[in-house]
Amino acid sequence: GDQFPVTSPTMYKATIALLAVVAVAAALQVPTSIHNYKNTKFGNQDVAIKQKYILQLLKNVSQKNMYPELIALGKSWNPEQYVDRYANQYVVKNFVSMWKQGMLP
């Protein structure tokens, strides 16, 4: 039999979307103090929480995501809502266009 379970295209899309959100969040992370890493925050969430999400996503990456809160977060993500916050808005608009056309997994 197959070693890895087959997952739905929706699951792949949700996972890709969540990874994109985490990547953008990591790129936009702004430390509140250069010398005090414990005060590093992104918006109102600690970087530690973001790191936890990344570790949860990458844990057993070949298996189905077992964290329902991350699946819900990925499904609710809407990059168009925050397109003005991205440094390269063209890339975001292009990504969304390809997503809507079904060109991404």
- Amino acid in the structure at residue 83: V
- Pairwise CA distance, residues 91 & 72, whole Å: 24
Domain spans in the chain, listed from the N-terminal domain onward? 9-94
Q: What is the pLDDT of residues 32-47, one digit of tens each?
A: 555 555 555 555 667 8
Containing H/E element for 95?
helix 89-100
pLDDT tens profile 46-83: 788 888 888 888 888 888 888 888 889 888 888 888 88
Cα–Cα dist 25/52, whole Å: 13
- Cα separation, 12 vs 75, whole angstroms: 11
The two tokens of residue 104 are 């991404």
